[in-house]
Chain A
Amino acid sequence: MDRKKFITNVGRYSILGALLFITGQIFFKRRVSASGQYVWQIDPMKCTQCGRCATECIKTPSAVKCVHAYDLCGYCDLCGGYFKPNTMDLNTGAENQLCPTGAIQRKFVEEPFFEYAIDEKLCNGCGKCVKGCTSFGNGSLHLQIRHDLCDNCNQCAIARVCPSDAIKRVPIENPYLIKGAFTS
């Protein structure tokens, strides 16, 4: 009986030692972040608007939404993010809109400027408007992961398939990579 107890004790303390060793390794290599937590975010400079954010997120609809950096917006009448290419009439007709869910609201400000606002309840994060805005306009529309919607999976399902590696872990203190902050 004593022998059995001895073996158990030796086993227990060697496993404790091994766990301590692993922890020590991680601390020694400074690969632990004590303050904290990380969340997933899209780097708008890397994003190529492939459209996978809309389909790959574990949430339906996706936790990725289009956000608008108004400081960068040109308030154009002919908005590359709002209208389909080759649109005849610049009005709010559904056939003219690029957004498949009609989530962009176009509002007249003054001649010839229009404000574009995103209705996040309708946005599905497909990034079609972002592509239009980046290709033909200032690139003020961009995709971001909304943290009230994101479940912060241990491994982001979109990050796994993102072709441009635009989704990365960011410190929780700065959970957004808003485009305006880079340029203005």
Chain B
Amino acid sequence: MNWLAGLIRSLMLLIVLLCASNHSYAQQRFPKPEFKTEYTQPVPEHPAPRSPALEFLDLAILVLVMSLTAWVAIRRRSRYGILILTIFSLFYFGFYKQGCICSVGSIQNVALALADPTYRLPLVALLVFLLPLIFSLFFGRVFCAAACPLGAIQDLIIFKPINLPVWLRKSLSILPWTYLGLAVLFATTGTDFIICRYDPFIGIYRLNGKFIMILLGIAFLLMGLFVARPYCRFICPYGALLSLTSRFSKWHLSIYPTSCVQCKLCTTACPFEAIDFPDSEQTKPEPRTQTRRFLTFAALIPVLIAVGMFIGSLSHVFLSRANSTVYLAELLIAHPELRSDPLNLDIQTFLASGQTLETLTEDAATIREKFRIGAMILGGFLGLVIGLTALNQLIFRRKEDYQANRADCYSCARCLDYCPVDKTIAHG
């Protein structure tokens, strides 16, 4: 009886296919009439999208803002200048341009371009991704300081920043790397652009959007009154990249113009706790315990990577459900009764499309395999990040003065106003 059912099914499929092809080719069921009276057919207008030239203009403005920020922070040493630039970015990149495309989201476009042969990366998106990174290699995080609209809105509302304990800050600094890894995983598997989807501030800039996302944006802003730049510090995936590149910056904002007088005023000025204390304030451990600890932690890194890969391979099934193809295939296999549910649009559209469950399952299996490899790499990568973060705490760097931590410093220039050395020079 099985073959009979198969025959009937294929016959039905054939009928459905024939109907469908009728549908798309025989458009003119009712031919256009030949009017006897005077009748002019309306010509519908199709408004043009924003000109591509304007996108390159935006790019030029981004470069200009970053260059000015670098000059103001490093040469002019003026918080006032940075503030003006921040307000400009808030209105231009935020309220006027309304976000897209931004450097934070462009990570996903670049990742997708590397993974998907059919995707064409716009040159603007590539440059928007590269330029802030290149700037940070020479001038520090000038993009974060004044050019990023997500940073601008948070920077302007800092009210009474509280100090967070070091262990909490260091643990939370793993989050941006996790978010980065997940975003790349979802982008390369063609699943979703999660950075864009869960951008908390875009709804505020557009004065429109999903209620829950606007609520999240407001929650972040309220938190930002007391915990300075919460999104930048503990979530932003592009910030994770910049914190890495900024460590190697050639020129970077320096707190004092000539020499530090150890007044500590800058540490009270910095809302991000991004200023490192000099050696006298730190307790240096004995060299032998230091070496032993360092070696233990270094040996732990491969273990962490292995554990990460294991957890990654365990979680790939769960992660892959975010992909609509995998989700639909699983749903159809687990709940065949849903085929008769007229309200399930995805299933009804799939059934009407004439695709077979076999091809869908095959596609889903391919995607899940990508997820298995991707999640393992992600897990291993996170193990490495955790290991290196821990190891980094052990490395003792000789410092005589208060210095901006190049990884964490946004070059916002608040500390410059507080440094008394400047004024001494100005008065002779």
Contact = CB atoms under 8 A, between A and B. Distances in A.
A and B part of one assembly: yes
Interface string B138-174: 1000000000000000000000000000000000000
Interface string A53-93: 00000111000000110111111100000000000000000
Contact of B48 (A36, A45, A74, A175): A175
B206 A12 contact: no
Contact of A137 (B30, B33, B36, B49): B30
B6 interface: no
A31 B345 contact: no
Nearest to A4: B397
A36 B123 contact: yes
A146 interface: yes
Nearest to B29: A138
Contacts of B119: 31
A32 B116 CA distance: 12
Interface of A: 8-9, 11-12, 15-16, 19, 22-23, 25-26, 29, 31-39, 45, 48, 50-52, 58-60, 67-68, 70-76, 109-110, 113, 115, 117, 134, 137-139, 144, 146-148, 150-155, 157, 160-161, 163-164, 169, 172, 175-176, 178, 183
Contacts of B29: 74, 137-138
Contact of A37 (B55, B99, B324, B353): B55
A172 B52 contact: yes
A104 to B, nearest CB: 13
Given A34-B123, A36-B122, A172-B49, A164 B28 contact: no
Interface string B108-140: 111001100101111110100010011001100
B60 interface: no
Given A70-B42, A137-B30, A163 B123 contact: no
Interface string B16-35: 00000001100111111101
Contacts of B342: none
B138 to A, nearest CB: 8
Given A11-B248, A32-B121, 6 more contacts: A12-B249, A26-B114, A37-B124, A38-B120, A74-B28, A74-B29
